Amino acid sequence: MSTVVAPPPAPKKVNRIGLEVLPYRGAKTTLCAGCGHNSISERIVEVFYELGIEPWTVAKMSGIGCSSKTPAYFLSQAHGFNSVHGRAPAVSTGALLANKNLRGIVVTGDGDTASIGIGQFVHMLRRNVPLTYIIENNGVYGLTKGQFSATADRGSKQKSGVINDMQPIDCCLLGIELGATLVARSFSGDKKQLSTILKACISHKGLAVVDVISPCVTFNDHEGSTKSYSYVKDHETALHELSYVPYYEEIQIDMAEGETRDVTLHDGSHLRLKKLDRDYDPTNKYEALNAIHQAEDKGEVLTGILYVEQKRDTLLDMLNLVDEPLATLPVERVRPGREALDMIMEELR
Amino acid sequence: MSTSEVSPVASRTGGPSYRVVNDWSIQVATVNGSGSQTANSVLMRSIFQMGVPVSGKNLFPSNIAGLPTWFTIRANKNGWIGRKKEIDFLIAMNPETAREDVLKLQEGAAVVYDEPLKLNELRSDLHFYPVPFDKIVAPVCPDAKLRKLVKNIIYDGVVAHLLGIDLEEMRKALYKQFGARKAKAAELNWNAILAGKKFAEENLEKKDPFSVERMDETKGKIIIDGNAAAALGCVFAGCTVVTWYPITPSSSLVESTIGYFKRLRIDKATGKASFAVVQAEDELAAVGMVIGASWAGARAMTSTSGPGISLMAEFVGLGYYAEIPAVIFDVQRVGPSTGLPTRTMQGDLLSTALLSHGDTRHPMFFPSSPAECFTMAGDAFDFAEQFQTPVFVMTDLDLGMNNWMADPFEYPTAPLNRGKVLTAEDLDKVAEFARYRDVDGDGVPYRTLPGTAHPKAAYFTRGSGHNDKAAYTEREDDYVNNVDRLSRKFETMRSWVPQPEVLVNEKAKIGIICCGTSRYAVEESRDQIMREYGIETSYLRLKAYPFTSALLDFINQHDRVYIVEQNRDAQLMALMRLEFPVDALAKLRSIKYYGGMPLDARTVTTDFVTQEGL
């Protein structure tokens, strides 16, 4: 019998709710090495771990495409649903109707959102469905080998040399026009900004739409593409420097007057926007639309929190639902009494 | 009391003593949007209140106002309330169709008509009753703007006199229709009925043989349309999520559901709703929301018609493979696009059974009456959750939108069957949770709901490419194992679906099979075949797909079996061809009707007689 005393195990690194990072991770990615989508999945893992959100309170939703595979690559202890091409908005809306306590995170692509599912996308915007809706935007269809998507910029070149002549659909413009209450654009290569934006989305009460330019290394990372790593790095123009203070932490640094804007989010967290070239007010819809249009004219990729509005009711508010999830209400709460049916029968006699 | 039986070939111009009591049909021809609905409902209800079995069918165009519309009422002392093709009593209010309507009548029919139309000049073998509606309406309705709406109800008074309807019953029916809140409108209409009755008493001499006499056959019964019945079924089945896109003839199913939800499912203390209704942007989104809600554990439904079913195909396939409950009502109608959206059909049986791509089979329920719309709505939710699959409730326009005399609905006392759902406590007790594993050997796996606070709860939902742990796979053995299990699940369903109604006549060599609203014509046709040709028949009415062993037994018990259905391609029979042995199939014959009107007994009888060579 051994009498050697084993050294105590090194303390495991855990987050504020005592969970290790493992349940926040997912299966190994099957996307191409260097795909922007993988960086976004990493940010999602990081953000949920850092915020200390129970993974099982999250519903990971997607449509079909490269981007829609990614919910399998994060939050292994959250239910996930890889649904129908372009139809993640409907499935996610339904899931929230059933259980309003779920945190919905939707990962879609530009094919999903701007083409086959644009009808569902715009109606989700109108309804202000409380979701974090990420568009992994690379301007091409990857799984079907490189066709242009509807977000490809005019003049952008396909790998085969074909030039896109058509007007791109800007999902952020649609988001602001049609009712999303937080609209942001980021770049999969900008880790800090993307993490901060995702945290703000999670703290936001309504629909948060994030258009993340996420280069496709296989089909759209060449010279002449406006969604390549080098193009976006050269043309990214950040609106502000973002920082986020979660509701459970005290604010340490005072804001310098006129240099920083503070947005208190629904859960009490703070989003801080430090002025860069100009003082940008993300609560001003007209300024937001103007800024996006001007950036497009200049060929800039404008990133940051483009728009935020915190007063509007979400779909779930409008429905005035009971406090508990509809899915698990007991029969007494969902089957009216015998006398109710008797009364209706009497009226029909 | 003389109550002569009338066969369609018999003359109806007998002597003065010839009477036809409680066995006739009325057709009211008006213009869509002219307010005739109230007059027709009151007329139908007053006959119902006299204890006479009755049905009402609205034949309307796809139009808001201005096009011709017909309402037929059939009263029948034997309880045959299916459509009857022959019209005995025409009320001709629409100048556009009056001529054609009159020319179509059989001799001996009666015609109440707007006097200026001078219809009596068209034929000499009918009983004509001219009524100057405009002259009668003016004194009872001083407000000229309302006259167009009040004018129609005058014919109720005229017909009450001619048929012998108890005026007190008509008054009760009228006030029931308007309710306490619209007492003024009710009074205005009541005066118009009285004016019609008075005119008829003073000016019209009864010449036709048709009349109503009090019976006791409707006691305790209700009048309701199938859509409202299904709506009540959903509300009492604990449905919590309804997502939909408007489409005729299904819209009123959801609109009724919303009405009953607001009345019965809002918490009185907090004013909060135990239901969510979303009008979606299209049927794709409607069924997508149902799939999402059911995945997250709600009892969710959508209601549509054929065009919507087509749009839902991809999602329904996903529901089948990902094994997600869903309740989908299909109020069937004729054809896609502009066409005959306001006409009835059993046209989606085959496409719905196999909806989507890959190997898919979906359970369908076939309600035939309002009471079955109510019970089968509840059954559908239980079934969808028990088997974790989309379930279709196949009604049709005739059942959904027409008013039916019906048995009152019985309060559902069975607990809700929520299926195999593992909670966090259940997960503590199991070694492993594998979402698609056939633990019980019935093909039905266990599921967990999103939000379940347990490290073992989560799984990843996707289409056909998964193994029994819900992990992604493209391996052929995983795929085959999974679809074979889905087949086992389908086999298990056979012993859980509503069993057919079977009437086996030991002497009968011939069987007749139908489903849904075809029953009214078929049951009456069997009576005609017996009375007119002396042939006994057996009868089986299907209530669900997949078929149960009772169907094959029935076919095997008979020499020949007729399948009656309301479509061109014998869709119900085609479903039998997919699974029955050739000797059984060799016995099958088909009686089909696909003109868009509710099926009538004579059509069935005539086809049967021709095929039998009688």
Q: Which chain A residue lies closest to B299 (C-alpha atoms)? A: A327
Six-digit token pair at A228? 């390549």
Residues 312-331 of B with CB under 8 A from A: 314-315, 318
B608 has which bridge partners? none
Whether the bond between B249 and the residue before it is cis, its omega within 30 degrees of 0, is yes
Six-digit token pair at B303? 């209601």
Question: Under a CB-based contact definition with an 8 Å cutoff, are residues B331 and B377 in contact?
Answer: no
How many angstroms separate the CA of residue B278 from the nearest CA in chain A?
A: 9
Of residues A255 and B118, the one with the higher pLDDT is B118
User: B283-295 vs A88-98: helix axis angle to the nearest 10?
Assistant: 50
- Per-residue three-class SS string for chain A: CCCCCCCCCCCCCCCCCCCCCHHHECCCCCCCCCCHHHHHHHHHHHHHHHHCCCHHHEEEEECCCHHHHHHHHECCCCEEEECCCCCHHHHHHHHHHHCCCCEEEEEEEHHHHHHHCHHHHHHHHHHCCCEEEEEEECCEECCCCCEECCCCCCCCECCCCCECCCCCCCHHHHHHHHCCCEEEEEECCCHHHHHHHHHHHHHCCCCEEEEEECCCCCCCCCCCCCCCHHHHHHHEEECEEEEEECCCCCCCCCCCCCCEEEEECCCCCEEEEEECCCCCCCCCHHHHHHHHHHHHHHCCEEEEEEEECCCCCCHHHHHCECCCCHHHCCHHHHCCCHHHHHHHHHHCC
The whole-number pLDDT of residue B546 equals 98
Residues 6+ apart with CB under 8 A from A282: A239, A261, A263, A273, A288, A304, A305, A306, A307, A308
**Could you say which of B222, B452, B471 has the minimum Cβ distance to residue A348?**
B222
What parts of chain A have a pLDDT lower than 70? 1-3, 253-257
CB contact under 8 A, A90 and B264: no
pLDDT digits (tens, 9 = 90+) for A91-119: 999 999 999 999 999 999 999 999 999 99
The alpha carbon of B159 is separated from its chain's Cα centroid by a whole number of angstroms, namely 28
The alpha carbon of B120 is separated from its chain's Cα centroid by a whole number of angstroms, namely 37
Residue that the structure tokens 């409108």 belong to: B185
CB contact under 8 A, A333 and B274: yes
ipTM: 0.96
A330 falls within a domain: no
Residues 6+ apart with CB under 8 A from B420: B386, B388, B440, B444, B445, B446, B447
How many angstroms separate the CA of residue A110 from the nearest CA in chain B?
A: 19
* DSSP at B499: P
The whole-number pLDDT of residue A2 equals 55
Cβ–Cβ contact A65 with B under 8 A: no
Question: Under a CB-based contact definition with an 8 Å cutoff, are residues A93 and A122 in contact?
Answer: no
Which amino acid, B612?
E
The whole-number pLDDT of residue B464 equals 87
For residue B177, CA distances in Å to B41, B150, B170, B190, B224 come to 8, 14, 10, 12, 13
For residue A222, CA distances in Å to A148, B257, B591 come to 14, 56, 65
In Å, the largest CA–CA distance within chain B is 88
State the span(s) of chain B assigned CATH 3.40.50.970.
227-406
CB contact under 8 A, A341 and B409: yes
The alpha carbon of B494 is separated from its chain's Cα centroid by a whole number of angstroms, namely 24
For residue A286, CA distances in Å to A31, A208, A238, A274, B7 come to 38, 18, 18, 20, 77
> Which numeric CATH code is attached to B501-612?
3.40.50.920
Six-digit token pair at B479? 């795929």
Residue B338: band (very low, low, confident or very high) from pLDDT cuts 50, 70, 90: confident
| Whether the predicted pLDDT of B8 surpasses 60 | no
Q: What is the CATH class of B20-219?
A: alpha beta
Residues 94-133 of B with CB under 8 A from A: none
How many angstroms separate the CA of residue B405 from the nearest CA in chain A?
A: 9
Residue B339: band (very low, low, confident or very high) from pLDDT cuts 50, 70, 90: confident
| Whether the predicted pLDDT of B195 surpasses 60 | yes
Residue that the structure tokens 């025409």 belong to: B90
pLDDT digits (tens, 9 = 90+) for B54-93: 999 998 887 877 788 999 999 999 999 999 999 999 999 9
**Phi and psi angles of residue A209, each rounded to the nearest 5 degrees, phi first:** -110, 125
The whole-number pLDDT of residue A336 equals 98
Q: How far apart are the first and last CA of chain B?
A: 34
**Phi and psi angles of residue A140, each rounded to the nearest 5 degrees, phi first:** -140, 165
How buried is residue B193: exposed, middle or buried, by Cβ count under 10 Å (0-12/13-18/19+)? buried
A337 falls within a domain: no
| Whether the predicted pLDDT of B12 surpasses 60 | no
Q: What is the CATH number of the domain that holds A34?
A: 3.40.50.970
CA–CA gap between residue A244 and residue B446 (Å, rounded): 41
CB contact under 8 A, A91 and B416: no
Cβ–Cβ contact B300 with A under 8 A: yes
pLDDT digits (tens, 9 = 90+) for B545-576: 999 999 999 999 999 999 999 999 999 999 99
How many angstroms separate the CA of residue B185 from the nearest CA in chain A?
A: 20
Question: Under a CB-based contact definition with an 8 Å cutoff, are residues B224 and B406 in contact?
Answer: yes
A160 falls within a domain: yes
Cβ–Cβ contact A297 with B under 8 A: no
CB contact under 8 A, A56 and B458: yes
How many angstroms separate the CA of residue A246 from the nearest CA in chain B?
A: 23
Q: Which chain A residue lies closest to B314 (C-alpha atoms)? A: A84
A136 has which bridge partners? A109, A212
State the span(s) of chain B assigned CATH 3.40.50.920.
501-612
Question: Under a CB-based contact definition with an 8 Å cutoff, are residues A77 and A86 in contact?
Answer: no
Q: How many domains does chain A have?
A: 1
A275 has which bridge partners? A240
A332 falls within a domain: no
Cβ–Cβ contact A207 with B under 8 A: no
Residues 412-471 of B with CB under 8 A from A: 412, 415-416, 448-455, 457-463, 471
Residues 484-513 of B with CB under 8 A from A: none
Q: What is the mean pLDDT of residues B313-323?
A: 98
A156 falls within a domain: yes
Lowest mean pLDDT among A211-215, B175-179, B294-298, B409-413: B175-179
CA neighbor of B328 nearest in space, from B309, B343, B345? B309
Q: How many CB atoms lie within 10 A of CB A147?
A: 14
How many angstroms separate the CA of residue A117 from the nearest CA in chain B?
A: 10
CA–CA gap between residue B88 and residue B5 (Å, rounded): 14
Cα angle, residue B465 at apex, residues B462 and B468 outer, rounded to 5° = 85
| Chain A CB contacts of B289 below 8 Å | 90-91, 93-94, 97
| Whether the predicted pLDDT of B453 surpasses 70 | yes
Reading phi first (left if > 0) and then psi (alpha if -120 to 50, else beta), residue B493 is in: alpha
CA–CA gap between residue B351 and residue A168 (Å, rounded): 38
Question: How many residue pairs bridge chain A and chain B with CB atoms within 8 Å of each other?
Answer: 226
B513 has which bridge partners? B540, B563
For residue B351, CA distances in Å to B394, B500, B566 come to 12, 21, 14
The CATH number of domain B227-406, selected from 3.10.129.10, 2.40.10.220, 3.50.50.60, 3.40.50.970: 3.40.50.970
The helix (run of H) or strand (run of E) holding residue B27 is: strand B23-31
Cβ–Cβ contact B232 with A under 8 A: yes
Six-digit token pair at A189? 């290569």
Full domain range(s) for residue A52: 22-319
